[in-house]
Amino acid sequence: MQGYIIKVTPSRDEDVIVTILTQHNLYTLYRFYGARHGQINLGFKIDFETEASVKSSISRLRDVMHLGFTWISERSRLFIWQQFTGLFSKHLQDSEELDSFYFNLLEEASSIWKTQNPKRIAIESYIKLLKFEGRLHEEMECFFCETQIIQDITLIRAFLPAHAQCIHALPIKIEAIKELFKTGSSLFLNDKEIEMIWHVLLEGF
């Protein structure tokens, strides 16, 4: 089966516990260290098998084959990808069976990661996730003071809208945020605004 590694936790010696997001499941598997084993890292897409263990409740990760990306050697893109995929771990940590949406979201993002600004792709992907989960607050109402936002908008964790002055942050163009929320496009956000929103995204899903 195939999946994305969304968490790697060191265990004893150089063994690791790996969390893998597949199309319908979230697996937590034990990976023994060995010279014959290929390298695995956060964000990698792999083909793998599982093997039940008689000594542990955690199954083993076996027969791993790395399914590389065309952009894997571009360190800056890979680093942003690892930051993005790592956010899925905490968000989905209590899940076992999953809707295929999450796997397909990573499939779509990885397919265009080389050709576009990866931070824009991550932001637009997160908008899709919020819409899918019914958590996107399209009403321009400040999360803090609960009054309408006319201008000087900013976003906080989970992309909740707020007055920039309420949280002492730099403002973002409200029309660009409305467009982002409505269409999922970051086209009207400049690079500085993208950077601000990216740091909000890194706070967690």
Q: What is the three-state SS of the chain?
A: CEEEEEEEEECCCCCEEEEEEECCEEEEEEECCCCCCCCCCCCCEEEEEEECCCCCCCCEEEEEEECCCCCCCCHHHHHHHHHHHHHHHHHHCCCCECCCHHHHHHHHHHHHCCCCCHHHHHHHHHHHHHHHCCCCCCCCECCCCCCECCCCEEEEHHHEEEECCCCCCCCECHHHHHHHHHHCCCCCCCHHHHHHHHHHHCCCC
Backbone φ and ψ of 127, nearest 5°: -60, -45
Q: Percent of the chain having pLDDT more than 90?
A: 81
* Rounded distance between C-alpha atoms, residue 172 and residue 105, angstroms: 26
If asked whether residues 85 and 174 sit together in one domain, one would say no
Among 48-57, 68-77, 107-116, 172-181, the least confident range: 48-57
Rg (CA), the chain: 19
Tell me, yes or no, whether 37 and 122 share the same domain. no
40-66: average pLDDT: 88
Final residue of a structural domain among 65, 92, 115: 115
Give the tens place of pLDDT for each residue, 143-197.
Answer: 999 999 999 999 999 999 999 999 999 999 999 999 999 999 999 999 999 999 9
For residue 21, the enclosing domain spans 1-115
139 — phi, psi (to 5°)? -70, 130
For the domain that residue 72 is a member of, what is the CATH number? 2.40.50
Identify whether the C-beta of residue 145 lies closer than 8 Å to the C-beta of residue 154: no
- pLDDT classification of 124: cutoffs 50, 70, 90: very high
Domain identity same for 108 and 29: yes
Asked if residue 20 lies in contact with residue 103, where contact means CB atoms within 8 angstroms, the answer is no
The answer, yes or no, to whether residue 54 has pLDDT greater than 70, is no
| Together in a domain, 77 and 140 | no
- The answer to whether residues 106 and 135 belong to one domain is no
Q: Do both 5 and 103 map to the same domain?
A: yes
Residue bearing the bigger pLDDT, 14 or 95: 95
- Residue 16 pLDDT exceeds 50: yes
**Which pLDDT band, with edges at 50, 70 and 90, does 35 fall under?**
very low
Lowest mean pLDDT among 20-24, 27-31, 107-111, 185-189: 27-31
Q: Looking at residue 31, what is its pLDDT?
A: 83
Task: Report the range of poorest mean pLDDT among 11-15, 22-26, 139-143.
Answer: 11-15
Average pLDDT over the chain reads 93
pLDDT at 145: 95
Closest CA to 104 of 42, 24, 198, 8: 24
Domain co-membership, 187 together with 125:
yes
Together in a domain, 121 and 68 = no
Are residues 87 and 122 located together in one domain of the fold? no
Stated pTM of the model? 0.93
